[in-house]
Amino acid sequence: MNKEKNILSSEVIIETRKQLVNINSNELVKELDRIITNNKVGKPDLHNNPTNQKTDYYKIDLQTDQIEIIVMMFGNLEVYNLGHNYESTELAIKFANLLDKWNELHCYR
């Protein structure tokens, strides 16, 4: 996990964007596109793979209510993907992890 405040990996942002597209949250999709375009965090000079987009990180500057929508979305997806007896599934764990990433943002606490 990146130690800087309000920073998320490209993998988290890309998956979040995908799920927001699924629920037609076009305004938040546009905001994530803006973050991808404008808020990339520079990599260290000696980074072993500076062009690999999977190792990119971005500064999150969304409003609290926007982050709340994302947190609620991942909470709902986690619950929706639980098994028949409310046991955890691979998808539920995936969405729980994404929920945690967004919920742990300093700007959201």
Rounded to whole angstroms, the Cα distance separating 61 from 81 reads 29
pLDDT at 1: 41
pLDDT mean values, one per 10 residues, the chain (109 residues): 75 98 97 96 66 81 96 97 92 97 81
Sign of CA dihedral 66, 54, 94, 14: positive
DSSP assignment of 48-97 equals S-TT-GGG-EEE----HHHHHHHHHHHHHHHHHTS-TTS---HHHHHHHH
Q: Are 82 and 89 in contact (CB under 8 A)?
A: yes
pLDDT at 24: 96
DSSP class of residue 9? E
pLDDT at 89: 95
pLDDT at 108: 59
Question: pTM (2 decimals)?
Answer: 0.86
